[in-house]
Amino acid sequence: MQKLSEVMRDYFRDERLLLEARDVPVRVEKSDWQIKEDPERLSRSFEFDSENKLRYFVDEVLSFQKGFGHHGRLIIDKSQVTVDVYTHNIERVTGIDKEYAKACDDIYEDISHYGE
């Protein structure tokens, strides 16, 4: 997995603005999102224990991305939905992709409280 400073290097003209991991006061212990290549993109698989929760997740993500104006790729395989997102015109991960990923995480978290 790449360091955030490597991913964001092209977005800052002044490299003095980039922080190394040791300089950041808050650390993320674990992220379920991965950075994949060709093209560079964020990817995460979400697992569901019922078809209703899977459908609710997909519906909410589709609704979100319509209003957000940025679309990811959703792949449904049995009880799993894989989401890939990147900014297509530059084939890289940008801030808007990170916002999209956060929204997917929030939707998934909400579904964990969803009753059958």
b/e code 33-71 from CB counts within 10 Å (16+ = b) = bebeeeebbbbbebebeeeebbebbbebbeebbeeeebe
Q: What is the mean pLDDT of residues 11-25?
A: 46
For the stretch 20-61, pLDDT in tens is 444 444 444 457 999 999 999 999 999 999 999 999 999 999
For the stretch 61-109, pLDDT in tens is 999 999 999 999 999 999 999 999 999 999 999 999 999 999 999 999 9
pLDDT of residue 38: 95
Q: What is the CATH number of domain 4-111?
A: 3.30.1360.20
Identify which has the larger pLDDT, 112 or 74. 74
